[in-house]
Amino acid sequence: MSKFKVAIIGGGKIADSNHIPALKQLSDRVEIVAVCSRDLTKARALADKHEIDKSFSNTLEMYEQCAPNVVVICTPNNLHYSQTMEALAHNCHVFCEKPPAVHAQNALEMAELADEKGLTLAYNFQLRQSSECKLLMRCQADGLLGDIYHIKANFLRRRGIPGWGYFTDKNIQGGGALIDLGVHVLDLALYTLGYPKPDQVLGNTYDFIGKSGGKGLLGSWNPDTFSVEDAATAYLTFPNKASISLSASFALNMQAEKDRNLEIFGSKGGVKLFPFTLHTELAGELADVQFPYLEDVDIQLKNTEAFLDACFGRPSTVCTAKQGAILQEIIERIYQSAAL
Amino acid sequence: MSKFKVAIIGGGKIADSNHIPALKQLSDRVEIVAVCSRDLTKARALADKHEIDKSFSNTLEMYEQCAPNVVVICTPNNLHYSQTMEALAHNCHVFCEKPPAVHAQNALEMAELADEKGLTLAYNFQLRQSSECKLLMRCQADGLLGDIYHIKANFLRRRGIPGWGYFTDKNIQGGGALIDLGVHVLDLALYTLGYPKPDQVLGNTYDFIGKSGGKGLLGSWNPDTFSVEDAATAYLTFPNKASISLSASFALNMQAEKDRNLEIFGSKGGVKLFPFTLHTELAGELADVQFPYLEDVDIQLKNTEAFLDACFGRPSTVCTAKQGAILQEIIERIYQSAAL
Amino acid sequence: MSKFKVAIIGGGKIADSNHIPALKQLSDRVEIVAVCSRDLTKARALADKHEIDKSFSNTLEMYEQCAPNVVVICTPNNLHYSQTMEALAHNCHVFCEKPPAVHAQNALEMAELADEKGLTLAYNFQLRQSSECKLLMRCQADGLLGDIYHIKANFLRRRGIPGWGYFTDKNIQGGGALIDLGVHVLDLALYTLGYPKPDQVLGNTYDFIGKSGGKGLLGSWNPDTFSVEDAATAYLTFPNKASISLSASFALNMQAEKDRNLEIFGSKGGVKLFPFTLHTELAGELADVQFPYLEDVDIQLKNTEAFLDACFGRPSTVCTAKQGAILQEIIERIYQSAAL
Amino acid sequence: MSKFKVAIIGGGKIADSNHIPALKQLSDRVEIVAVCSRDLTKARALADKHEIDKSFSNTLEMYEQCAPNVVVICTPNNLHYSQTMEALAHNCHVFCEKPPAVHAQNALEMAELADEKGLTLAYNFQLRQSSECKLLMRCQADGLLGDIYHIKANFLRRRGIPGWGYFTDKNIQGGGALIDLGVHVLDLALYTLGYPKPDQVLGNTYDFIGKSGGKGLLGSWNPDTFSVEDAATAYLTFPNKASISLSASFALNMQAEKDRNLEIFGSKGGVKLFPFTLHTELAGELADVQFPYLEDVDIQLKNTEAFLDACFGRPSTVCTAKQGAILQEIIERIYQSAAL
Amino acid sequence: MSKFKVAIIGGGKIADSNHIPALKQLSDRVEIVAVCSRDLTKARALADKHEIDKSFSNTLEMYEQCAPNVVVICTPNNLHYSQTMEALAHNCHVFCEKPPAVHAQNALEMAELADEKGLTLAYNFQLRQSSECKLLMRCQADGLLGDIYHIKANFLRRRGIPGWGYFTDKNIQGGGALIDLGVHVLDLALYTLGYPKPDQVLGNTYDFIGKSGGKGLLGSWNPDTFSVEDAATAYLTFPNKASISLSASFALNMQAEKDRNLEIFGSKGGVKLFPFTLHTELAGELADVQFPYLEDVDIQLKNTEAFLDACFGRPSTVCTAKQGAILQEIIERIYQSAAL
Amino acid sequence: MSKFKVAIIGGGKIADSNHIPALKQLSDRVEIVAVCSRDLTKARALADKHEIDKSFSNTLEMYEQCAPNVVVICTPNNLHYSQTMEALAHNCHVFCEKPPAVHAQNALEMAELADEKGLTLAYNFQLRQSSECKLLMRCQADGLLGDIYHIKANFLRRRGIPGWGYFTDKNIQGGGALIDLGVHVLDLALYTLGYPKPDQVLGNTYDFIGKSGGKGLLGSWNPDTFSVEDAATAYLTFPNKASISLSASFALNMQAEKDRNLEIFGSKGGVKLFPFTLHTELAGELADVQFPYLEDVDIQLKNTEAFLDACFGRPSTVCTAKQGAILQEIIERIYQSAAL
C-alpha cells in the first residue's frame, strides 16, 4: 500500500506544534505534500521549517497540483465548515481541529457529506488518547464502575484568556471558553456515556472579567474588543437518566491556575480522571485505588494514528463526524439557553 | 420584659442535642415550659433530662395548659406543615426545623398565615451563623466580590446514608439527600444572591447505591425499603443572569468522606467557603487571601438568638418564612424535573 | 444456657486493663467470680475495683470454693504451664496470656492435656481481631493475593525496654523482645500461612544496648540485671517453599519509636498491614489500594468473644492450643539457633 | 610513568555508558586502545562512537596486536571466568563487572591466579564510592556506631524485570534478582562488617510473577522463557555473632517502585544509608542526625580510579579478588539453600 | 526538717493556675498557709478553691498571724518592689513573679537586702526548666557549641494584646511587650551567656497597632487607654564581643500567631531552641541533629522546686536576685534608648 | 538618538555573566566598544567571547581610543573609587558594581564629582528590580502597609565562604559578609524607608568559622589567610523612629543553606519579601495574602535598563550616587562600632 499524501490547511501554532510533528513521526504511513495558508509567506516558512515540498495560499491550486488523500484543517473555527466541505468534495479524508464548526447545522452537513462520499471526517480531541481515558474505558469494560449516572466535567483557567490569536473574537471563533476549552471535556464525558443526545440543556455564560481587563497569565488581552464568554456553565440530562454538569473558563476567580478534570460517578465505582483514582468497594470495604505508573503518552501522535486507522476502516477511538455533529448541537443549545 | 415561654414539639435527637441546649444558654430570654412527643415516655424522659416541667403527647393539651409564646418544631418533615399551622393558630412564634415542609404549597400557606397573624415563622438553617458565612457577607458588603454570577453548592457524603430515623422513607421525609442535606447549601447560595426566585430549574436524582446496599459509614441501612434519592444534582438560572450548580448526596463513589462547600464566583473576587479563601487581584497582582483566625462559633446558639431577635422585630439573619417558601418551591421543581 | 463462671489468675496490669474489662462487657455470657494472686492484698484490691466477689492467694482454694468453668491466666510466663495444667485438671477452659509457655515441651503437654480433656485452651493474640487482620483474611479468601510466598514480620521499638515488671529477667520471662513482642507478629504470619511447621530456622539475638543502659522511653531499666535479648532476628523456611523474616526489639538504633508491621508478598498481590494497603494489578495496570474507613475495633473484647465461641464449639479465630505449641517450638528453635 | 593501555571486552550498555566514559575522564592515566565484542559490527560502532582506535571480535588477536596493560570485562556473567583467566594469562590487570562469576569455584580460581601473577583483579561494585558509603565508613571509624551486629540489606524493584539483555536467562546469568541486584547491597553489608565469611546461610527464591507475566516498568519480558528467580531472601550469621538479612527482587508486590537500602544497627548508633541518617544518643538524649549536603559523586568514575589505584599498589576501596570470591561463595550457598 | 510555711500575695490567674498548683504538688516540702489580696473576697475564694486555711487583705496582719517562711509574690509589676522589701524585712524567702520590678534601682535594692539578710530572693522565669533549655546547657557543657557569639531572642505575638488585667497600663506594668514577654527570652539569652552585663544597648519601641485597635486574638483591648509599647526591638553588645538581638511584641503584622524562640550561634554549633535542633559538623560533614523524644516537663513545678533548692542552699537553676537586677537594668536601658 | 558607547572595566565573572549579557540584550540603546582588564589576555578572551571589538589593559588608552559614553565597573571593591573618578573625569556615565567603595569618604567624593559633572553614577543593586520589590513598593503606595517602623534584613549563608576571588581578603574587599552580602538587603531596607540617614548604629562582627576552616559549600577557603568577618549583625535607628535589624553571613551554624529575606513591619500590614506574603486585616479579620503568580524577571537586565533611564534623565529605580554614599557611610559605621 502506498502512503497517504497529506495537505495541511492553516499555518498557525497548532499545525506547527501538533499536527506536523505527529505526521512526521508516522512517515511510514503518510507524506506531507503541502501547506496552505491565506498568508503565503507563513505557509512557505512553515513548509521550509518542516521540509515540506509545496506551499499555497489558494486551496484549489493545492488540490489541483497535489491531489492529496488527506487534508488536515488547522484554521480558525469559522473556516472549518467551508474548508471541510471543499476537501470532501475533492475526495479527501479530513482531520479537522476542534470544535467541528460554529453552527450545529454546519457540523451536520459535514457529517452527511462525509457519509455520502464514504470518506472519513474526524475531529482532533486528543484527550481521548491519554492513559487516563484508556484506563477509564478499561475500568468501565471490566465492570468496575457499574452504571454511570452523573459526570462533572470542568476545564477552568483562573486567568488564561489567550493574549494571541482570535480567541476573544466571537465572529471568528463562535464563542469563548465553552467552544474552545469546554468542548474537550464535554467530548470525554459524552464518549464515556456512549455519545447520547441530551434531553434537556440549560446553560449560562459570563463575561465580567474579560470585559474589565486585569492581570493575565497567558499574555494580555484587550477588554474593549473582548466579545466572547470568559466562562460558561451548563447542565445536561439524557434519556437514560444520566446527567452532566459542565464548566469552562478562560478567567474565573478561583484558586488553581488550571483545573481540567472529569469526575465520573457510577453505581459500583467512581473515577476522578486526573490524576486517575478509583473509588469503590473491595473485599467488603470502601477502597481508594491509585495507579502510580500510568504511561505518559504523546496524545497527538496517538490521535493522528487513530484518525489514520479510521481512514483505513480499522477500529478507531477518534472523534467521528457524527459525534462531532452531536457535540456541536449541544454547544449551540448551551449558547441559546444562555442567551435567553 | 418577661421571658418567652417555649414549647418543644418533637422528642428526637435534634431537640435533645441542638435546640434545647441552645435555649437553655439563653435562659435570660426564654424558659422552656414543655416537651411534646407522640410517644409520651420519650417526651417525659427528655423533659427530665433537661429539667423541663411539663411533657405531653397531645399538642392541644399543651397549648391549653402552657400557653407558650414560642413553639420549636423538631419533628419529621411531613409534620412541619400541620404543626406550624396549629402553632400559628395558637398565636405562637414558630422556629421550625428544615426543610420548611414537603410541598411548596404548604410552605407558602405557612408563610401567609404567619404574615397574616403578624407572627415570626423561621427555619433553622444554622450555617448562616458560621464565621465563614458572616465573612462572606462582609466581603460582599465591602465590594471585594463585585457582581456574583455563579455559585457551586455541594453537600456530599461518600457513604453517609443514615442508619437511623426516617431519612430513607420518602413518605415521611419527602425525599432524600436533596431535601435533607442539599437544602442547607441551597439556602446559603440563595441567601448570598439575595434570595431571588429562579427562572429555570433542571435536576436529576439517583438511587443506585441506596437500593444496592453495601458498606455504610453512618450505620447500616436497609436497601429493600430505601425509597428516596441517594444523590441529586441540579442547575438553576436567575433573572439577573446568575446561576447555581447544586449537588447533594447520602452516597456517592467519591474520595472524601464528606464535602460540604460553596464556591462563589464574582466579577472582582471568588470565595471558597470552607475553609474560607478569597481569590482576587490586589496591588495589581492575582492574590489568594486566607483568614487563619476565624472564630469557631456555636452556630445553633447563634441561630436561636437570631430567631428570637426576629420575634422582637430586631434585624435578624434567620431564614424567614418567605425565604422558606421560595426554597421549598425550588426543591419541588428539582424533584419534578428529575421525575420527567 | 447459664453463664460461665470465670476466675482470673494474676493480679497485674494485663488483668486489670484488658481481660476484666472485656469480660465485664460480655456479662450476658460470663460472670467473673474470683481473682487470684500470690499477693492477696493485690487480688482483693483488684476484685474490689471491678466489683468481683471473691479473692484468693491460693488457687486450690479458689477451685474448691468457686468451681469456675473458665480460668484466665495473666501471670508471668514461667507460671503459664503449671497454672494451665492445674486449671485443665480442674476441668476448666483456659484463656492464657501469650506466650504459651517458656519451653516448647510444656506448650505441647498443655495442648495434649486440653485435647484429652476435651477442653478449650487458647492464647491471647489479640491482633488477629484487628480490622486489618480480618481484611487480610478476606483479601486472601477473595483471591486478591494469590500464593503467599514471603512475609516480613517486625515488632520493633527504638528504646522501649520496659522499666517495670519482669520483662528483663530471663528466669521469669524466658527471653526478651522475641518472646514478648516478636510472638505477636510471628503468630499473625503463621496464621496467614495456615500455621505450618517450619523446615529450617535460623536466628540471632543481641543485648548490647540492654546491657549498656541509656535513655529509655518506657521508663528506666537496670543494665546490670538485664539478662534477656534486647533484639532478635530470625529467618524461617516452610515445606511449601514460603519463608518468613522476623525482627523484634526492645531497643534498636532506628528512626521510628515503634515499628510493628507485616508485609505479605503473594503472587497476585502484596499487603502492608498497618495501615492496610494492597499492591496489585487492576484493569491491566499496577494499582495501590487504600481502605480509608477500616473500623477501629476493641481487639481484646473481640478476642475474648472468640475464645468463648471456641469453648462453645463455634467457629473461632482465637489462637488454639495446637497453634500455641507450634509457635512455642519455633521460639525455642530461634533461641537455640542464636545460642550456637 | 607512561599511561596504561586499556582494552574493553564486551560491547553492551555497561561498557558504553559506564566504563568508557569513566576511563575517558582519566585520560591522564589511561588510554583505551581496543574494544572487543563477539559481534564485530557492534565493537566497531562502539569504538567509533568513543574514538577508540581498534576493534576486534577475537580477544587473542586483540592481545597480540594491542598488548594491553588493563582489561575491562563487561560481558554476560557466564563469560567472566574464562575471559578473566585469559586476561590474567596475558599479564593484564582486570577490572571485571559484577558478579565475579557464576560459580564460587571459578571466582576462587580467578583470585588465586591473580594472586599468583601479582596482578590486580577487581570487581565493579560502584556503590562503595557513594558519599553515603564513605560517610558510613567515617562514622564507624569515629566510633559513632560502636559494634555493628545486624544489617538489613535490600535491593527491591516492584516490576523491574529487565525487558532487554540476558537478565531472565539462567544459563547465561546464573540467576536473577539475587545475582544481579542483591550482590550490590550484599557487597556493601560485607564491606561494612570487614568482609567475614558467614557461619550459616539460609535462603529462598521465588518466581511466581516472572512466570506469570503482567505489566512491566523496565520493558516487557517473556514469562515463557523466564528461568531465573524474580525475588530472593536470605539470612546470614557470622562468627562474631553479627547477622545480615538480605532481600532482592526484580518483581514484588510492594508499594515503592524501587527500594535499595541498607540499615546498619550498632551498639552506639544505627544508620539508614539512603538518604543517610544516623540514630544515636547525643548530650544524653536520643538523637537523629541528617547530613543535608552530601556531595553527589560520579561513582563509576571514582570506582575506576580506585581500581587504578589498586593496580599501582596504592590504598584502594575497590572490591578485591578475594572479596569477590567470598561474595560468590555466599551467593552460591543461598541458591543451594533455596534449592533444598 | 519541718515544712516551709508559704504565703501567697496576689489573687489573680498566675497564683491560681501556676504557683498554687505547683506548691500543692510539693506538699512534702511546703504548706500553703495564707492567700493575700487587696480584694479580700478574691483572696477568700482562692483560698477556698485550693483548701488553704487563711486569707487576708492586709499583708502585715498576715505576717503577724502566720509567720511564713516563704512569700510568693504574684501581683502587678509596680507592687513587686515594696512587697518584696516587706517580705524580706519579715525574714521570708521570696519567690517573685517576673519582671523583678519596674525600675532598675529597685531591683538592685531588692538584691542587696536579700543578700544582707541571707535570704533567697528569686524570680519566676520558668522557661529555664524546659527540656530544651536543659539540653542547651548540656550541649554547651559537652563542647558541642564552642564559643557562643550571637543570640537572636524573640517573643512575638501577632495579635496577642491581652484583653484582661493591667497589661496595657504603663503606670502599673512599667511597659508592654518588652517587660512582659521579652524578659523571658532575654533571661534565657543572658543565662546562656553566663549573665554578663552589656557594654552597649540600643532599642526601639512602637505602639501603632495598640493605639489603632482592631481584631484581637487574646480578647479585646481599648486603644484609647493603651499606654505601653505593642512591640520592641533591641540590640546588645557584651565585653566578650558577643551580642544579642531581641524582639518582643503583643501585636505585629507577621504570619505566625506566636513566635517564641532563641537562636544561639556558636563557633562549633548553632541551636534553634523550639523545637530543639543542633546545626554542626559531624564526621566531617555538615549535620542537623534532632532530638525527637524530649520530655514534656511541668516547668512551673520544676521552677518552684529550683527555688526551694536555692532556699536550702542547694545548687539551683532559678533566676537569682543578682541576675534579676542585671536584667532589670537592661530593660531600663532599652526603654531609655527608645525614648531618645 | 545615537547609541551609547559602553566600555567594561574588569574581566571577571560579574562582567561575563551579568553586565555584558544584559547590555547585549539592549543593543538598540547601547553598543559595547571595549573591555579593560589589568590582564590583557583575559580582556581579549572576554571580548572575543562576546564579539566586542577592542580590549585594553590600560584604561587611559581605552578612553583615548574609544571615547565611551558609559563605563561599567566590575572590579574588586578597592578599585571602584579611582576608576569611577577617572571615568567621570572622562565625562562618562558610570554604572559601578556594589558596594560603592571601601571608605565612606570615597563614596561621598564620587557622588559629589558626578553631581558636579552632571553625570549619572549608579550602583548595581539588582534586587530592587525583582517582582517582589516592585510589589512591595506598590503595596506601600496603595496604603496597604501604613507607617513602616521596623525592618529585619538578612542575607545569611550556612557555609558559603567563596572559595574563589578576593572575598576573604580584607585589603582588597574592605570586609566580608557585610560588605559583600549585607549591602544588598540593607539597600532594599533603606530604599523601602526612603533612604534616610540613621541616628544611631550599633554592630558586631565575627570570624570564628572563617578562621577555623571546615566543610564548605561554595568551594574551599584557606582559614590561615582569612582576614574578613564571616558574619555581622547590626541595629540602626532613624530620626522618624523606624529601625532596622541587619544580619549577614558567609558562614553561620544555622539550618538553611541560605536565608536572604526582608520582613517589613508596618502599622497596617507586614510583608515577608521572599516568597512575598502580606499580613494584614481585611473585611474585619486577620488575613494572610499570597501572590502565587509573580513574574520571574531578569533583574540584571532590568537594572541595566534602569541605569540607562537615569542617564537619559527619565524616572529610574536604580541606586543613585547619593544613596550609595549614605549606604557606604552606614557600612563604615557598623565596622567602626564592631571594632570598639
Q: pLDDT, tens digit, for every residue of E223-250?
A: 999 999 999 999 999 999 999 999 999 9
Average pLDDT over residues D32-36: 97
- In DSSP notation, E77-135 reads GGGHHHHHHHHHHTT-EEEEPSSS-SSHHHHHHHHHHHHHHT--EEE--GGGGSHHHHH
Helix C131-141, helix C183-193: angle, nearest 10: 20
What's the CA gap between D237 and E31, in Å, rounded? 62
Residue in D closest to A294 by C-alpha: D217
Neighbours of chain B (3+ CB pairs under 8 A): A, C, E, F
- DSSP-derived letter for residue D292 is T
Pairing of strands B258-266, B269-272: antiparallel
Which residues in chain D are closer than 8 Å to C152, comparing Cβ atoms?
Answer: 247
Q: How many CA atoms lie within 13 A of F130 on its CB side?
A: 15
What's the CA gap between C209 and C177, in Å, rounded? 12
What's the CA gap between D311 and D319, in Å, rounded? 12
Helix B183-193, helix B131-141: angle, nearest 10: 20
Does B340 have pLDDT greater than 90? no
Average pLDDT over residues D156-176: 95
| C-interface mutation test, from A139, A268, A282, most C Cβ less than 10 A away | A282
Q: Which residues on chain B place their C-beta less than 8 Å from a C-beta of chain C?
A: 159, 215, 217, 257
Which residues in chain C are closer than 8 Å to D200, comparing Cβ atoms?
Answer: 202
Residues near B267 by Cβ (< 8 Å), separated by ≥ 6? Answer: A208, A209, A212, B145, B146, B147, B148, B149
Average pLDDT over residues E47-65: 97
* Residue A57, phi then psi, degrees to nearest 5: -110, -5
Q: How many CB atoms lie within 10 A of CB F28?
A: 7
What does the angle CA B304 – CA B305 – CA B309 come to, to the nearest 5 degrees? Answer: 120
Helix boundaries (H) for chain D? 13-14, 20-25, 40-49, 59-66, 77-89, 104-117, 131-141, 170-173, 177, 183-193, 208-212, 299-311, 321-339
Helix (H, G, I), strand (E, B), or coil: what is residue B112? helix
E139, E283, E291: residue with CB nearest D286: E291
Q: Do F215 and D292 touch (CB under 8 A)?
A: no
Q: Write b or e for each residue in A125-159: b if 16 or more Cβ atoms lie within 10 A of its Cβ, otherwise e.
A: bbbbbbbbbbbbeebbeeebbbebbbbbbbbbbbb
Does D1 have pLDDT greater than 60? no
Which residues in chain B are closer than 8 Å to F286, comparing Cβ atoms?
Answer: 291-293
Of D278, D280, D268, D223, the C-alpha closest to D250 is D223
Residue in D closest to E276 by C-alpha: D287
C159 has which bridge partners? C251
What's the CA gap between B42 and B49, in Å, rounded? 11
CA E314 to chain centre: 21
How far apart, in Å, do the first and last CA atoms of chain C sit? 54
Neighbours of chain D (3+ CB pairs under 8 A): A, C, E, F
Helix (H, G, I), strand (E, B), or coil: what is residue C320? strand
Does B286 have pLDDT greater than 70? yes
Which residues in chain C are closer than 8 Å to D237, comparing Cβ atoms?
Answer: 202, 204
Q: What pLDDT was estimated at residue F340?
A: 81
Residue in F closest to B134 by C-alpha: F283
Pairing of strands E121-123, E319-320: antiparallel
Q: How many CB atoms lie within 10 A of CB B214?
A: 18
A138, A286, A292: residue with CB nearest C284: A138
CA E189 to chain centre: 12
- In DSSP notation, F173-203 reads HS-SHIIIIIHHHHHHHHHHHTSPPPSEEEE
Helix D321-339, helix D104-117: angle, nearest 10: 170
A135, A286, A288: residue with CB nearest C283: A135
E86 has which bridge partners? none
Residue with cell 405531653: B56
The ranges assigned to domains in chain B are 4-125, 127-339
Left (φ > 0), alpha (ψ -120 to 50) or beta: where does B225 sit?
alpha
In angstroms, what CA-CA distances link A203 with A326, A338, B246, D192, F62? 17, 5, 14, 70, 72
- Read off the C-alpha cell for F101: 567603595
Complex-level ipTM: 0.95
Which residues in chain C are closer than 8 Å to D283, comparing Cβ atoms?
Answer: none
Confidence of residue D340 (pLDDT cuts 50, 70, 90): confident
Q: How many CB atoms lie within 10 A of CB A247?
A: 24
Which residues in chain D are closer than 8 Å to A293, comparing Cβ atoms?
Answer: 159, 215, 217, 257
Of A297, A296, A316, A293, the C-alpha closest to A22 is A297
Residues with pLDDT less than 70, chain F:
1
The two domains C4-125 and C127-339 share their CATH topology (first three levels equal): no
Residue in E closest to C159 by C-alpha: E293
Does A340 have pLDDT greater than 90? no
Q: Write b or e for each residue in E132-165: b if 16 or more Cβ atoms lie within 10 A of its Cβ, otherwise e.
A: bbbbbeebbeeebbbebbbbbbbbbbbbbbbeee
Helix A321-339, helix A183-193: angle, nearest 10: 120
Chains E and D touch (3+ CB pairs under 8 A): yes
Residue-wise pLDDT tens digits, C152-207: 999 999 999 999 889 999 999 999 999 999 999 999 999 999 999 999 999 999 99
Residues near E312 by Cβ (< 8 Å), separated by ≥ 6? Answer: none
Q: Is the peptide bond before F275 cis (omega within 30 degrees of 0)?
A: yes
Which residues in chain F are closer than 8 Å to A220, comparing Cβ atoms?
Answer: none
Q: How many CA atoms lie within 13 A of D253 on its CB side?
A: 33
What's the CA gap between B266 and B288, in Å, rounded? 14
Average pLDDT over residues C278-296: 97
Neighbours of chain E (3+ CB pairs under 8 A): B, C, D, F
Q: How many CA atoms lie within 13 A of C99 on its CB side?
A: 34
- Read off the C-alpha cell for E141: 557543657
Q: Which residues on chain C place their C-beta less than 8 Å from a C-beta of chain B?
A: 292-293
Confidence of residue D281 (pLDDT cuts 50, 70, 90): very high
Residue-wise pLDDT tens digits, C156-170: 999 999 998 899 999
CB F311, CB F120: distance < 8 Å? yes
Q: Which residues on chain F place their C-beta less than 8 Å from a C-beta of chain B?
A: 135, 138-139, 142, 144, 278, 282-294
Of B91, B115, B69, B179, the C-alpha closest to B321 is B115
Average pLDDT over residues B7-13: 95
What's the CA gap between B305 and B299, in Å, rounded? 10
Radius of gyration of chain E (CA): 20
Residue-wise pLDDT tens digits, B207-245: 999 999 999 999 999 999 999 999 999 999 999 999 999
The size of the A-D interface in CB pairs under 8 A is: 5
What's the CA gap between F208 and A178, in Å, rounded? 65
Chains B and A touch (3+ CB pairs under 8 A): yes
| E-interface mutation test, from B290, B293, B294, B296, most E Cβ less than 10 A away | B293
Does A1 have pLDDT greater than 90? no
Type of residue found at B332: E
Mean per-residue pLDDT of chain F: 97
Residue-wise pLDDT tens digits, F268-319: 999 999 999 999 999 999 999 999 999 999 999 999 999 999 999 999 999 9
Q: Write b or e for each residue in B147-169: b if 16 or more Cβ atoms lie within 10 A of its Cβ, otherwise e.
A: ebbbbbbbbbbbbbbbeeeebbb
Q: Do A290 and C294 touch (CB under 8 A)?
A: no
Which residues in chain F are closer than 8 Å to B287, comparing Cβ atoms?
Answer: 289-291
CB F203, CB F231: distance < 8 Å? no
Q: Is the peptide bond before B275 cis (omega within 30 degrees of 0)?
A: yes
Does the domain made of A127-339 have the CATH classification 3.30.360.10?
Answer: yes
CATH of A4-125, one of 3.40.50.720, 3.30.1300.10, 3.30.830.10, 1.10.472.50: 3.40.50.720
Residue-wise pLDDT tens digits, C311-323: 999 999 999 999 9
Residue-wise pLDDT tens digits, D293-336: 999 999 999 999 999 999 999 999 999 999 999 999 999 999 99
Helix (H, G, I), strand (E, B), or coil: what is residue E284? coil
In angstroms, what CA-CA distances link A93 with A100, B112, B198? 15, 67, 47
Confidence of residue C105 (pLDDT cuts 50, 70, 90): very high
Residue with cell 421525609: B173
Which residues in chain F are closer than 8 Å to B289, comparing Cβ atoms?
Answer: 282, 287-290
